[in-house]
């Protein structure tokens, strides 16, 4: 999903990326990557995948493909994981799971329990990847949310753990669930059962242009982010990009007390009332490449989410604007005259290298049992997203006293850096 010339990007990233992956020095990789790759003697661990559907370029493909075929999905170096079983909830006509199973030797299973045990009478894998994205599951009429079965998948996994008296690390792709109640249930059950849980978007570990890692304990006065695409599905990615930045502020994360949503004429009124700052949105937009910044106004279809954190921080997330068709971020920091801002750059077309960084994090997680960043981040973004979608449907803001989610950010930075490829117009 990058906006670089496709041929130039792929030629350069394939050639440079493959060799550097082999050396354990992927360009712009997070700091933990070198530590992971430094241990060449790590055991290759078996993992199971629970998916909605497995088709070309689906999340199942771009995540599981990197386990089977290397980070470049062309046979290059990859994580120290082996996919041994897959459960597919749906099998569309363009399914590729059966073909991949024949090529790579993993089992196609009829139940979640079978995928985790492989008929051995015990948990037969070192970790589980739950990829509840894509597929035909309808839409919630009121809010337009997609009710993907992430809670059902997690409960099936947890039920199997309970039955056999063992737990393993579980990665949940994207938000925990489409609604707060289900997401909180998953988080609470994982805590109660001591199931290591990791979740989230690939955006926080994507390239940042220009490189930006806010100092831990910095004083953020206000923040803003821009997203594009489907309000819920891509709004989540924009939220994760925002949250991975603001969680580093002084005092750590303390939760959210209210979410307001503005559309139409109410956007200008909210600006006049000082509820959001145009200069911050413009600073975020200016980090995107020129060809992805079509105009300097928001546009008639804009949706603004204003997130009020419990410590007084205010953050604005703008969707469907004409400012930029990218995920971008900006913050006003105490003592600095100009906003700190960055663009989260994603790669368009296979192998979607930004997912390689996510798979690296999953690899670390399965091997250590410790998520490289707090699952509470995604618990909070799950709740913010659900509140925003309901506020949009109801046409009014929502108080969120239940989003009393507190955590400290990761102890190491996640700023992969600036890609070598120039940001050219196609």
DSSP 297: S
Is the pLDDT assigned to residue 9 strictly greater than 80? no
Assign domain 42-200 to its CATH superfamily: NAD(P)-binding Rossmann-like Domain (3.40.50.720)
344 Cα distance to chain centroid: 12
Closest CA to 292 of 355, 343, 237: 343
Q: Which CATH class is domain 208-345+379-399?
A: alpha beta
Question: Would you list the DSSP string of 72-104?
Answer: TTSS----SEEEEEEEES---TTB-HHHHHHHH
Higher pLDDT, 94 or 20: 94
Instruction: Bin 312: left if φ > 0, else alpha if -120 < ψ < 50, else beta.
Output: left
Q: What is the pLDDT of residues 41-81, one digit of tens each?
A: 889 999 999 999 999 999 999 999 999 999 889 988 899 99
**HSE-CB for 424 with a 13 A CA cutoff:** 9
**Measured distance CA(243)–CA(381) in Å, rounded:** 7
Average pLDDT over residues 331-341: 96
Average pLDDT over residues 370-379: 95
How many CB atoms are closer than 10 A to CB 89? Answer: 18
Token pair for residue 211? 């490189």
Closest CA to 260 of 378, 406, 403, 387: 387
Beta carbons of 307 and 314 less than 8 angstroms apart: yes
The structure's pTM equals 0.89
Token pair for residue 389? 């979608």
Confidence band for 292, pLDDT divided at 50, 70 and 90: confident
Is the pLDDT assigned to residue 299 strictly greater than 60? yes
Question: Would you list the DSSP string of 236-289?
Answer: HHHHHHHHHHHTTBTT-B--EEEEEEEETHHHHHHHHTTSS-HHHHHHHHTTS-
Is the pLDDT assigned to residue 26 strictly greater than 50? no
DSSP 331: E
How many CB atoms are closer than 10 A to CB 104? Answer: 15
Beta carbons of 49 and 60 less than 8 angstroms apart: yes
Average pLDDT over residues 348-354: 87
Domain chopping of the chain, boundaries: 42-200, 208-345+379-399
């Amino acid at each position: 999903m990058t906006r670089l010339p496709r041929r130039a990007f792929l030629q350069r990233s394939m050639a440079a990326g493959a060799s550097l992956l082999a050396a354990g020095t992927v360009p712009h990789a997070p700091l933990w990557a070198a530590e992971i790759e430094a241990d060449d003697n790590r055991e290759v661990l078996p993992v199971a995948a629970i998916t909605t559907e497995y088709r070309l370029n689906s999340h199942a493909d771009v995540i599981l493909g990197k386990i089977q075929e290397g980070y470049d999905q062309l046979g290059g170096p990859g994580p120290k994981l082996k996919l041994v079983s897959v459960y597919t909830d749906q099998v569309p006509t363009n399914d590729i799971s059966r073909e991949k199973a024949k090529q790579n030797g993993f089992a196609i299973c009829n139940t979640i329990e079978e995928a985790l045990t492989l008929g051995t009478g015990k948990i037969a894998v070192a970790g589980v990847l739950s990829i509840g994205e894509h597929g035909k599951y309808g839409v919630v009429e009121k809010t337009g949310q997609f009710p993907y079965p992430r809670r059902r998948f997690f409960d099936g996994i947890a039920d199997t753990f309970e039955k056999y008296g063992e737990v393993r690390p579980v990665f949940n792709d994207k938000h925990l669930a489409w609604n707060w109640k289900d997401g909180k249930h998953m988080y609470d059950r994982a805590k109660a059962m001591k199931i290591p849980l990791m979740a989230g978007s690939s955006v926080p570990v994507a390239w940042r242009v220009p490189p930006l890692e806010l100092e831990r304990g910095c004083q953020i006065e206000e923040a803003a982010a821009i997203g594009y695409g489907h309000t819920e599905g891509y709004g989540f990615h924009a939220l994760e990009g925002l949250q991975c930045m603001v969680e580093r502020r002084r005092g750590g994360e303390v939760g959210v007390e209210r979410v307001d949503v503005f559309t139409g004429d109410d956007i200008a009124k909210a600006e006049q009332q000082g509820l959001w700052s145009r200069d911050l949105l413009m600073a975020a937009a200016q980090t995107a490449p020129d060809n992805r910044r079509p105009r300097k106004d928001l546009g008639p279809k804009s949706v603004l989410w204003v997130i009020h954190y419990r410590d007084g921080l205010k953050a604005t997330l703008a969707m469907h604007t004409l400012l930029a068709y990218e995920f971008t971020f900006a913050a006003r920091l105490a003592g600095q005259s100009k906003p700190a801002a960055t663009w989260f750059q994603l790669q368009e077309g296979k192998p979607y290298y930004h997912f390689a960084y996510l798979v690296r994090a999953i690899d670390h997680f399965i091997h250590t049992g410790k998520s490289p960043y707090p699952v509470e981040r995604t618990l909070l973004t799950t709740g913010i997203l659900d509140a925003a979608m309901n506020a949009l449907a109801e046409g009014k803001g929502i108080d969120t006293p239940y989003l009393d989610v507190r955590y400290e950010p990761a102890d190491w930075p996640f700023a992969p850096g600036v890609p070598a490829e120039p940001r050219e117009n196609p």
